[in-house]
Amino acid sequence: MGRHGMTNSLRSLSREEERHAFLNKHGAGQLPQEPLLQDCSDRVYIRLQGHGMWNNEQVMFVDDPDPDNAKRFADIAHYLASLGLRVPHIYAASEHGFLLIEDLGETRFRDVLKDDPSAHDDLWETLFDTLIHLQKASHQTGASPASAAPPTLAHHHASAPPSLERMTVETLLEEVDIFLEWGLSYIGRSLSAPERHEARRVWEMFLTPLADHMPCQATEGYVCVHKDFHSENLLILDAEGLQGCGVIDFQDALWGPPAYDLVSLIEDVRLPFDGPRITQQKAHFIHKQSLFTNHEWEATYDRLSLQRAVKIFGVFCRLALRDGKLKKVDYLANTFLFIEQGLKHPAAHDVRDWFLSLDFKRRLESF
Full set of structural domains in the chain with CATH: 15-102 (3.30.200.20), 109-142+164-365 (3.90.1200.10)
Q: How confident is the model at residue 49 (pLDDT cuts 50, 70, 90)?
A: confident
Q: How confident is the model at residue 157 (pLDDT cuts 50, 70, 90)?
A: low
Mean pLDDT of the region 215-219 = 86
CA-CA distances (angstroms) from residue 149 to 47, 165, 218, 255? 37, 10, 17, 13
Q: What is the pLDDT of residue 211?
A: 96
pLDDT tens-digit map of 264-310: 999 999 999 999 999 999 999 999 999 999 999 999 999 999 999 99
Mean pLDDT of the region 80-91 = 96
User: Does the pLDDT at position 21 exceed 50?
Assistant: yes
Q: Measured in Å, how far apart are the chain's first and last C-alpha atoms?
A: 65
Beta bridge partners of 236: 245
Say which range, 153-162, 229-238, 341-350, has the weakest mean pLDDT. 153-162
Beta bridge partners of 246: 86, 235
Q: What are phi and psi of 92, to 5 degrees?
A: -160, 150
Say which range, 74-78, 132-136, 148-152, 262-266, has the weakest mean pLDDT. 148-152
Q: What is the pLDDT of residue 146?
A: 44
| CA dihedral (9, 11, 13, 14) positive or negative | negative
Q: Greatest CA span in the chain, whole angstroms?
A: 76
Q: Which of 161, 158, 86, 138 lies closest to 260, judged by CA?
A: 138
Mean pLDDT of the region 148-152 = 43
Burial class (CB in 10 A: 0-12, 13-18, 19+), 26: middle
Q: How confident is the model at residue 203 (pLDDT cuts 50, 70, 90)?
A: very high
Mean pLDDT of the region 212-219 = 90
Mean pLDDT of the region 46-70 = 83
Mean pLDDT of the region 49-62 = 75
Mean pLDDT of the region 15-41 = 86
Q: What is the pLDDT of residue 216?
A: 84
With beta carbons less than 8 A apart as the criterion, state whether 86 and 242 touch.
Answer: yes
Identify the helix (H) or strand (E) that includes residue 322. Answer: none
With beta carbons less than 8 A apart as the criterion, state whether 36 and 29 touch.
Answer: no
